[in-house]
Structure formats: C-alpha cells, structure tokens
Amino acid sequence: MKILVPTKRVPSTDERVRIRPDGSGIEDASLAYMINPFDAIALEEALQIREQRGSNVEVTAIGIGNADFESELRTALAMGADRALRVDFDGCHDPWSVAQTLAAVVRREKPDLVLMGKQAVDDDANQAGQMLAGLLDWPQATFASKIEFVEPARLSVARETDRGLETILIRLPAVITTDLRLNEPRYASLPALMKAKKRPIETISCQDLGVSPEPKVRLVRLEQVTIDRTCERVADAAELVHKLRYEAKVI
C-alpha cells in the first residue's frame, strides 16, 4: 500500500506575520518555517497506518516548491517517511495549481491513499484535497478526526462538520484531509533529523510530470489586519452588566 502525504512549508504558527509595506506579500526575511500543522497530522496518521499494517506500507512525503521546501521534507523523513519527493516549482501556488500538480504525481506514483491537511495555515484555503479528489474522480473524506480500516480497501472516516461528527465509508483509492483531532504528531528527534540530512530527496520538474500549473487565483495585495479596540477595564460584575446594558446596549 502506498500513501502520499503532501507537506507544505508554512511560516511557523509562533510567528507574527507582518505584511510588506507595498502589500505584495509577507515579510519573509527572518521567518521560521514548519510543516503545515495539518500536514504533520496527515503524516503522523500515515505513519500509524504503516505501524499497524506492517512493512508493505510505503509513506512518501511530497513537497511542491523550491529548494527551501527540502527542509520540511527532511523533517518528514526524520518523522519516519520512507521517501521524500519534491516537485520543483518556483511560481506562486494556489489550490488549483497544487491540485493539478498532485494529480500528476498521483498518476506517476499510483498511491492507494493521499492523506493531506484540510488547510494550510498560510492561505487558509481548504480546497486542494477536494480539488484533487475531483480531478481524479476519487472518493474524498474531508476534515477527518478518525480513520479506521473496516476492510483492506475500505475505510470508515469520522468527519468534523459544523453539525457534528459525521461518519462515512469510502473505498480506496481515496483522498482524506485531516482535522486537528485526528492525532498528535510525533516530534522528529535530533539524531533522526541529522540522519535525514543525508537521505536523498527525489526531485522532479513540472515538465517531467507533464504539468504547467497556472494559478487561477491572483493576489492583488495583502493588508495587515489591525483591531482598534481599547479595552476598558471594569471593576466587577455589576459594573460590567451596567456597561453592557446602558453603554454598549447589547443586552
């Protein structure tokens, strides 16, 4: 069984994102980066599936980007991925171009399962997995918080929806996108990270994949969001209720 896990490089969630004065993007000079947290959860799940189902499961981490993306792919190798593959791409991504590229990777690699984050915490788009499933005409299970094999090629997936926890059954091959509660990703140990530095990362060009992913979403500009509220400190519950009633008039 082959599992592909796309891993996106995103600014660390501990970073304060600042917008460049000209609005063309974020100040990225000194940012720390990480594997998109949802992708790390997807990778953890793939590794757990391998641990449960044995050595015939192969987990491949996929990066789509320039050479910088190799650092996240090395983290993926250190966490336990069997292989890492980078699609060399220096343009700007949108979910559409990512889905196109991943579909080409899927045609080449022929995985049984693509496990990926439900969204990347930079653009917060929440589209690439669904688009990929649509392009491949595969089953999809989004926002997964529990994945169980009910048969060798049939999975029960619990999905976190606005209405509650929905359960569906899907057949492989399929695309599953992960939500936060699926698992707690393991850390890559320092020795594993050192070892991963020496492991090969396969690189393939878009041309070799036969795709020329043209983004369809164009970023016109980014604006910093500031909240202008000045907090008025109140002394006690009585004063708060008074303010809410007679000053803010919201109750």
Partner 1 sequence: MTILAVAEHDGTQVRSGAYSALTVARDLAKNSGDNVELLVLGSGLDSVAADASRFAPVIVADHPLLANPTADRYARIIANVAKARDAVSIIANSTTFAKDILPRAAALLNAAMAGDVTGYSVGNGELLLRRPMYAGAAMAVVTLSGQPQVITVRASAFPSAGPLDQPGERTVWNVDASTLPNHSEYVGLESRPTLRPELTEARVVVSGGRPFRTSEEFENYVGRLADALNGAAGCTRALVDAGIAPNEWQVGQTGKVVAPQLYVALGISGAVQHLAGMKNSRVVVAVNSDPEAPMFSIATYGLVGDVRQIVPELIRELGK
For partner 1, which is the closer residue by CB, 36 or 60?
A: 36
Q: How far apart are CA 160 and CA 167, in angstroms?
A: 9
Determine the interface stretch with partner 1 among 42-50, 62-70, 164-172, 203-211 (rule: CB under 8 A): 164-172
Q: What is the distance between the alpha carbons of residues 124 and 122, in angstroms, rounded to a whole number?
A: 6
Asked if 21 interacts with partner 1 (CB under 8 A), we say no
Give the shortest CB-169-to-partner 1 separation in angstroms: 4
According to the binding rule CB under 8 A, does residue 124 interact with partner 1? yes
Residue 96 contacts partner 1 per CB under 8 A: yes
Q: Could you tell me how many residues of this chain bind partner 1 (CB under 8 A)?
A: 80
Question: CB under 5 to 8 A by kind: which of ligand FAD, partner 1, none does 90 bind?
Answer: none
Are the beta carbons of 121 and 37 closer than 8 angstroms? yes
- Do residues 63 and 85 lie in contact, with contact meaning Cβ atoms separated by under 8 Å? yes
* Residue 140 within binding range of partner 1, rule CB under 8 A: yes
* Contacting range for partner 1; rule: CB under 8 A; set: 107-115, 131-139, 186-194, 196-204: 131-139
Distance between CA atoms of 176 and 71, rounded to whole angstroms? Answer: 24
C-alpha 48/C-alpha 67 separation (Å) is 28
Contacting positions for ligand FAD (CB under 6 A)? 13, 37, 121
The dihedral sign for the CA sequence 139, 92, 104, 111 = negative
Spell out the residues 6+ positions from residue 223 whose beta carbon is closer than 8 angstroms to its own.
19, 23
Distance spanning both ends of the chain, measured CA to CA: 58
Q: Interface with partner 1 includes 227 (CB under 8 A)?
A: yes
Binding at 250: pick from ligand FAD, partner 1, none (beta carbon under 5-8 Å per type): partner 1
Smallest gap from residue 13 Cβ to ligand FAD (A): 5
Q: Give me the least distance between CB of 77 and ligand FAD, in Å please.
A: 22
